[in-house]
Amino acid sequence: MNNLTHINDKGEAQMVDVGDKVATCRVATASANIKMAERTLRMIVDGKHKKGDVLAVARIAAIQAAKKTSDTIPLCHPLMLTSIKVDLQADWDNCCIQIKTLCKVSGQTGVEMEALCAASAAGLTIYDMCKAVDKGMVISDIRLETKSGGKSGDWARD
């Protein structure tokens, strides 16, 4: 038997059947960074970008991405998220925006992918809005930080 839940015994992709699982409270957090030139970070923080409030748009993009994760990741289940939080902080020492997301659901499957998609979308949106002034930006360290709930229990990055 295969240990990968999204691959059947024939090696074919499948959506996992969660119909018999008990609904529990599930929470996941994720993070990412987008490194940029200091002048780009200053422009974002000071709200001087001609396209508007970069952080507000990135926050909305992250929320929308979490809500639409199953439209982007083929084997994800559509979820009725009960909470999405997005925190965007300027890190002057590393000249980047630190992105942190939290997704929550009461359901039969986890929200790790939703939190990861939210963090990714925030970084991509910042890049999109600022690419005209800084094509050298780097989105990095997209990663799950914590997850709780469900059969596998709690997990946290060391």
- How many angstroms separate the CA atoms of 67 and 119, rounded? 12
Question: Identity (one letter) of the amino acid at 118?
Answer: A
Q: Where are the beta strands (DSSP E) in the chain?
A: 24-35, 83-91, 96-107, 138-148, 155-156
Half-sphere exposure of 45 (CA within 13 A, CB side): 15
Q: Which of 53, 93, 128, 141 is catalytic?
A: 128
User: Which strands form 138-148's sheet, in the order they lie side by side?
Assistant: 83-91, 96-107, 24-35, 138-148, 155-156
Helix axes 38-45, 112-130, angle to 10 degrees: 100
To the query of whether residue 128 is one of the catalytic residues in this protein, the response is yes
Closest CA to 29 of 84, 89, 106, 107: 84
| Active site positions, annotated | 128
